[in-house]
């Protein structure tokens, strides 16, 4: 029997079908290989190397048709507005076409042959030398310089990484140079740089587009992901990697991006090595390097030469005996020092509390991932028997729901660590408000946790050894618990979005929305046409002359 998931029993119709390759570990990527077909109406698209040109042309064509522009003018506008067509239209409606063009550095000229008006000898204002008209180039804004100066200017800008928006050389001129002029002049002396220029223009669709980002896979799969909705979402590339579109780290909802980055850093800093150094060494008061005590005397010396007291860490002299250090006393009780010590200990225990539970659900996820093969074997054995039970999609649905809920629970602990700590929201809530919200959140979290553990226990039952009546009983329990855990996940997210993060006045802590059917798998962008000929998507020689229809 195939182990493809049917989500009809445990998810709403409004969500998108996708595979749930959820990783709960910040470093590892051990995930179940459940897959569903991508939805017909997927809002995220995979842009491959082959479809990148078609994706760019799609937006270019919209602007070209809307404003009756040539391709390089449309590209200049889109790069300026970060390939956001909706924003471009909004500026057009609000400020008008003239302001739209001026802000982007677009100069549109009418039907006239600019080259025919050039005199036989043209004085170049850059090199201050007279040049034959055929060795000079006039761009859309009307400024004319010799080809050598133009070429050097273009080369410098390409090497500086500014090839997407190369401005005219004239003083205080904001006009963007025609890409065909750049390409034609550069290719005569430096063909490799012309190819680099073309590549930069093509990749600007990804580099300058807030709706498109490279897949962060390593080694890189070569794909990019384009979204249509909110940038605070989690997506899955066709290579199988799931990631947060906003920060490009692993999918971490319900943690915000800021919370997750802080948590990863803290987990890295709170490693076993750091814990051992903290427990067995004292920092030198002079050079601050950790010093390990290798004798019974409480006067220790650092390699930098500084002597200090092992008990309090204070700098001292070297005169001492077995009972005391000359001129130094740290035996008296100090309230501030005690408070600082207790606070540090409390913070450490608090971190351990949340980390252990985060790690416990991560480990449970890994162990439960092994259930896939076991359940497949049990289903096969049960199907071979002469039984009226033929549909076992409830088992797959329950296992899928278990994985989804484990993922939510795992990341809910880093969220709680920062939500109710002093690091991020100390000034946003009073102590009493924080305690009330913490109790509300923990009630939701504990309900979800209890039902997830029940679901995990039932799914581990050897149902292939049970009678049909017992299997039917287990079936109903799994279906019910799948619905309950999905509902509780929704409520937990509603609590976070409305009661916790929604009440904040400062800070940007958005989270990806919860989807019953998992992280959306991007469907591949279908190219309506394919061509390897550069002339099909680059301006023609006629367009390079600076002509345009308005």
Map tokens 């010396």 to a residue.
Answer: 301
The answer to whether 283 touches 313, Cβ cutoff 8 Å, is: yes
88, 95, 87: which is closest to 74 by C-alpha? 88
Map tokens 């979402």 to a residue.
Answer: 233
**Distance between CA 91 and CA 134 in Å, rounded?**
39
CA distances from 201 to 45, 52, 103, 319 (A): 21, 11, 20, 72
So which residues are the catalytic ones? 297
The DSSP-derived string for 380-429 is: HHHHHSS-S----HHHHHHHHHHHHHHHHHHHHHHHHHHHTSSSSSTTTS
328 three-class SS: strand
Q: First CA to last CA across the chain, in angstroms?
A: 63
User: Which residues are CB-neighbours of 427 under 8 A, at least 6 positions away?
Assistant: 506
User: Which residues are CB-neighbours of 332 under 8 A, at least 6 positions away?
Assistant: none
Paired tokens of 333: 């009780």
**Phi–psi pair at 75, nearest 5 degrees:** -65, -40
């Amino acid at each position: 029997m195939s182990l493809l998931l049917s989500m009809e029993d445990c998810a709403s119709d409004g969500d998108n079908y996708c595979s749930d390759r959820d990783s709960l570990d910040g470093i590892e990527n051990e995930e179940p290989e459940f897959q569903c077909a991508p939805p017909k109406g997927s809002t995220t698209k995979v842009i491959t190397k082959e479809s990148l040109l078609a994706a760019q042309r799609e937006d270019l064509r919209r602007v070209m048709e809307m404003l009756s522009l040539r391709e390089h003018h449309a590209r200049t506008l889109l790069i300026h507005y970060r390939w956001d067509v909706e924003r471009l239209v909004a500026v057009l409606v609000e400020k008008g076409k003239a302001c739209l063009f001026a802000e982007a550095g677009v100069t549109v000229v009418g039907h006239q042959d600019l080259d025919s008006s050039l005199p036989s000898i043209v004085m170049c204002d850059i090199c201050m030398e007279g040049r034959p008209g055929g060795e000079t180039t006039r761009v859309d804004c009307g400024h004319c310089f010799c080809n050598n100066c133009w070429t050097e200017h273009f080369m410098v800008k390409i090497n500086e990484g500014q090839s997407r928006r190369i401005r005219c050389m004239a003083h205080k001129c904001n006009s963007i140079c025609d890409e065909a002029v750049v390409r034609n002049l550069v290719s005569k002396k430096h063909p490799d740089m012309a190819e680099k220029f073309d590549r930069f223009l093509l990749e600007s669709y990804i580099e300058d587009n807030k709706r498109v980002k490279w897949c962060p896979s390593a080694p890189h799969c070569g794909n990019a992901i384009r979204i249509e909705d909110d940038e605070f979402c989690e997506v899955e590339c066709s290579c199988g990697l799931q990631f947060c579109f906003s920060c490009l780290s692993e999918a971490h909802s319900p943690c915000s991006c800021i919370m997750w980055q802080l948590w990863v850093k803290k987990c890295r800093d709170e490693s076993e090595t750091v814990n051992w150094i903290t427990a067995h060494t004292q920092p030198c008061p002079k050079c601050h390097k950790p010093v390990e005590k290798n004798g019974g005397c409480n006067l220790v010396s650092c390699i930098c030469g500084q002597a200090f007291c092992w008990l309090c860490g204070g700098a001292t002299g070297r005169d001492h005996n077995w009972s005391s250090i000359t001129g130094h006393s740290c035996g008296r009780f100090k309230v501030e020092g005690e408070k600082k010590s207790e606070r540090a200990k409390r913070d450490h225990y608090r971190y351990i509390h949340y980390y252990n539970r985060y790690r416990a659900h991560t480990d449970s996820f890994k162990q439960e991932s092994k259930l896939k093969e076991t359940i497949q074997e049990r289903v096969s054995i049960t199907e071979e028997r002469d039984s009226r039970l033929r549909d076992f999609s409830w088992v797959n649905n329950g296992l899928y729901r278990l994985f989804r809920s484990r993922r939510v629970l795992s990341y809910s602990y880093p969220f709680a660590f920062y939500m109710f700590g002093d690091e991020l929201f100390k000034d946003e809530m009073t102590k009493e408000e924080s305690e009330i919200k913490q109790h509300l959140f923990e009630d939701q979290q504990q309900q979800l946790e209890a039902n997830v553990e029940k679901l995990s226990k039932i799914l581990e039952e050897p149902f292939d050894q049970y009678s049909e009546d017992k299997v039917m009983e287990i079936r109903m329990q799994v279906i019910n618990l799948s619905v309950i855990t999905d509902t509780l996940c929704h409520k937990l997210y509603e609590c976070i979005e409305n009661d916790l993060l929604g009440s904040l006045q400062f800070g940007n802590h958005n989270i990806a929305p919860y989807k019953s059917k998992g992280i959306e798998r991007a469907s591949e962008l279908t190219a309506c046409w394919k061509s390897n000929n550069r002339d099909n998507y680059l301006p023609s020689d006629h367009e390079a002359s600076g002509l345009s229809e308005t």
